[in-house]
Structure 1
Amino acid sequence: MVGGLWAQNGPAVAGGDIPSVAYLDWYIPMLLEKRTHDLSHSGIQYSWDWSQLLAGEIDELDLWWSIGKGDPRQLVADLEEVSLERIVCMHGVTNGIQIALMAALKSPRAGDERMKRVAVEMPSYAPISQSPRLMGLETIPYSRLPQEGYATTKPWLIDRNGLEEILPSVGALVMTPILNPLGWDLTQEDRIWLAEITAKYDVAVISDEVYNHTLRSIDEYKPMYLYGDHCISLSSLTKCHGLGPIRFGWLIASEEVASVAKKVFLNTNGMLSSPGVTMANAIWPHFHKPLQHIDHLREKNLPLLEGVLEKHCIEWQRPPSGVFGSFEIPGGISGFELVETLGAEHDFLAIPGEMFDPSLKNWLRVAWSIEPELFAAAVSVLDEILSEISK
């Protein structure tokens, strides 16, 4: 396995210089192997009863707009209790990152390079860093770092000194509050500090909150749009509702930024998918059900994982919400080596931490987003693999 599959930061790119999303280049073939014991999914695997949800609407899936159904922004407005004028619907969060950047960055003045640079969080999923580069922007990484002695048991914190050095030279910042692959949310202290320091330097904050719905059940849901007009929240139905294929997402920003984002969407996308909107509308009255199921899966699955990690003297603390977490593999073996050798032998799949940052070479991300009987079998296999490593 070659390295370098984490997010690639740097100057603007075009043509043959555009980096691949190397994580997916590796992961999709792995998925196609259909390994029996799969702890790789970062989102819930949830089954919706479409025959019931779309009863009477199957023949109208492509007609949302032409038959005058309501504004899909109203779904989000009711959920978040914000005005329609602050919402733009789009095709998922990756699409939203690009729209938000185009809407939030101001036209650069002569000699002002700030609006050509974006601060991006590491560790991260590749499009966080690479999408801006396709738009002619340079990305400059900053870090969330482990608390000394508590890398696997406490939230990682913003490197405040490192980020403040960057902020005078950028026009926007992109981050994911629930850190992938660790699963820990941004602390409230860091959230407040980030909002204040970016306001000081006139830097737009673009927050990928696709995992944050899981915080609702523990009353810790605190989207960044609440922390200032310079903050933009992005979300979708992909990770917490198992609906990635319908590509329905949204952003919430100030009315000024949202009005520009709407123009960006119309210029770059034209319109939303009518089938996607129809399906989103159908599940909206049941928005809470997958979130309740995630709580159920955490209750059933996490004690099994904790037991196996404790058996192998691996220090780990479950994140308070969400569907995945990461731990350091004992014995110096890399995540890639584990998955591609012992994983192949045992028909087991998880995600190497190195996918998100080179510092996580010896880490493994596991998800508890599958049904308990499948999870129990997969964790039993993980136990066997860890036993082989310790021999």
Structure 2
Amino acid sequence: MTITPPALSVFETLESEVRSYCRGWPAVFDRAQGSYLYDEDGHTYLDFFAGAGSLNYGHNNAVLKRALLDYLERDGIVHGLDMATTAKRAFLETFQNVVLRPRDLPYKVMFPGPTGTNAVEAALKLARKVKGREAIVSFTNAFHGMSLGSLAVTGNAFKRAGAGIPLVHGTPMPFDNYLDGQVPDFLWFERLLEDQGSGLNKPAAVIVETIQGEGGINVARAEWLRGLAELCKRRDMLLIVDDIQMGCGRTGAFFSFEDAGITPDIVTLSKSISGYGLPMSLTLFKPELDVWEPGEHNGTFRGNNPAFVTATAALDTYWADGQMEKQTLARGEQIEQALLAICAEHADADATYRGRGMVWGLEFPDPARATRVCRRAFELGLVLETSGPQSEVVKLLPALTTTPDDLDEGLRTLARAVRETA
């Protein structure tokens, strides 16, 4: 497919230089449906990006769109702050009945604002308020958001530098296998906690991603997560799981921590919780942690009622019968087999792969190779992004509703892109 980059336009002349995704995908997109994007010049692209994980059910999902249009056509409440609305009630009841109760999760639900970093900021603030301590422990290569509190527990040096001020009260620890298995799990962490001369103030909480998406698709073992949960309990620290990208079924189960058999004290959700790409986030926490004063944490757009409508429809449609988890795991096996074949074909490149469910990464020792693969894939009609501290990982994040045929087409295109960038 021949793609002509858009001519100098309002994007270049008026929009800030901070824009990023559009630089890797030189097209002006016009519409989207299911797993496909279409640009204004008539080109078709298979989407293995899914709105950075915000579109688990695809673009303009017909069932969710119908629920949204019906709600808007009857003049349903759009902006509601934290007022009680019928849309919010329907979401809360469905979330409780479809997600929380079947998993025996006791969480209270907080609507902290429309984005993932809002949910993280609320989680950090609550943990500090409950424990009366400032320090938060995070992990190497973590990504938790772009506002200041979230950046303080994010590992990426480039993103941290953008803050322009010292990022304090956050201490990084080695993520699972960061030291290539040469050191027992949590040895360094435990030593710092025990040693009065370590300089580590007793943490209020630990925040962790079960799979680090932006960090390079680094998958934590279930036993490592269980060990972390046990350590937090023993040392009187709250455990926060950031499930913003890996939740809502991305790894198979609705929550990515379910397979490890742990119950975090606090959980953050965003991205695909609305199901339709509409801004929405949740901070979930155990009832005994609900020590907020009314209005102590708020936000103008925390009551996004159209997002409540599509979120309710998504839960009813995809999570009431348990089939979505089985389907995602089956699609994951399809992806894994394709990546295995790619790595075998290019053994000389020392490429490796890793992932779970429908989030996978293909890593190249030469970081530039991953960028070239994504660029060539786009030229062939496949939307992919890179991740990792050096953008060394090709990241696969297709919609959970992607058909086996479309998945196979995208994986063949990926294999071709790898072959043609050798």
TM over 0.5: yes
Aligned-CA RMSD value:
4.2
Q: CA deviation at 1:48?
A: 3.7
The number of aligned residues is 346
- Please, which of 157, 163, 167 is the counterpart of residue 189 of structure 2? 163
1:226 to 245, 263, 271: 263
- Name the structure 1 match of 2:67: 53
Partner of 1:143: 174
Whether the aligned pair in 1 keeps the contact of 2:176 and 2:224 (CA below 8 Å) is no
The share of aligned pairs that are identical, in percent, is 14
Tell me the residue number matched to 1:87: 109
Structure 1 distance, partners of 2:282, 2:333, is: 30
Q: Match of 1:307?
A: 341
Please name the residue that 1:326 is paired with: 361
Q: 2:136–2:170: 8 Å Cα contact kept in structure 1?
A: yes
Could you say which residue in structure 2 is the equivalent of 1:353?
A: 387
In 2: Cα distance, 1:143 partner to 1:149 partner: 10
Q: Secondary structure at the residue paired with 2:124?
A: helix
5+ residue gaps, structure 1: 1-21, 151-155
Letter in 2 for 1:75: T
- CA deviation map 1:120-160 (0-9, x unaligned): 2232335178543479743322222438879xxxxx99952
Query: Are residues 1:279 and 2:310 paired?
Result: yes
Map 1:1-391 to 2 at 5 A: 25-31=19-25, 33=27, 36=45, 38-41=47-50, 42-43=52-53, 44-46=56-58, 47-50=61-64, 52-54=66-68, 56-58=70-72, 59-62=74-77, 68=86, 70=89, 72-78=91-97, 79-81=99-101, 86-90=108-112, 91-106=114-129, 115=134, 117-125=135-143, 127=145, 130-132=148-150, 133=152, 137-146=168-177, 160-164=186-190, 168-169=200-201, 170-180=203-213, 183=217, 185-210=219-244, 211-212=246-247, 213=249, 214-216=251-253, 221-222=258-259, 226=263, 231-236=265-270, 238-239=271-272, 242-245=275-278, 247-260=279-292, 263-265=295-297, 267-269=298-300, 271-288=302-319, 291=325, 293-295=327-329, 297-298=331-332, 300-313=334-347, 316=352, 319=355, 321-329=356-364, 332-335=366-369, 337-339=371-373, 342=376, 346=380, 349-354=383-388, 357-358=389-390, 361-369=391-399, 370-390=402-422
Q: CA deviation at 1:28?
A: 4.3
Give secondary structure in 2 for the equivalent of 1:307.
Answer: helix
The amino acid across from 1:287 in the alignment is Y
Q: Which residue identity does 1:276 align to in structure 2?
A: A
Whichever residue aligns with residue 235 of structure 1, its letter is: L
CA contact (8 A) 2:274 2:308 kept: no
- Mapped to 1, the partners of 2:225 and 2:176 lie a distance apart of 15
Deviations 1:2-29 (A, max 9, x none): xxxxxxxxxxxxxxxxxxxx9x842244
Contact 1:88 1:262 in 2 (8 A): no
Q: Deviations over 1:358-386 (max 9, x none)?
A: 4xx53322334444444444433433333
Residue by residue over 1:242-263, the C-alpha shift from the partner in whole angstroms, topping out at 9 and shown as x without a partner, is 4332x33323322232342874
Q: 1:303 to 1:239 in 2, by over 3 A?
A: farther
Q: Report if aligned partners of 1:119, 1:142 keep a CA contact under 8 Å in 2.
A: yes
Tell me the SS of whatever aligns to 1:103: helix
CA distance in 1, matches of 2:220, 2:308: 31
Structure 2 regions of 5+ residues with no counterpart? 1-16, 30-43, 153-162, 194-199
Query: Contact 1:327–1:364 (CA<8 Å) still a contact in 2?
Result: yes
Greater helix fraction, Structure 1 or Structure 2? 1
Using the alignment, how far apart are the partners of 1:349 and 1:273 within structure 2? 29
Secondary structure at the residue paired with 1:226?
A: coil
TM-score (norm 2): 0.65
Aligned partner of residue 57 in structure 1, secondary structure: helix
Given that residues 105 and 263 in structure 2 are in contact (C-alpha distance below 8 angstroms), is that contact kept between their aligned partners in structure 1?
Answer: no
SS in 1 for 2:111: strand
Give the CA deviation at 1:105.
0.2
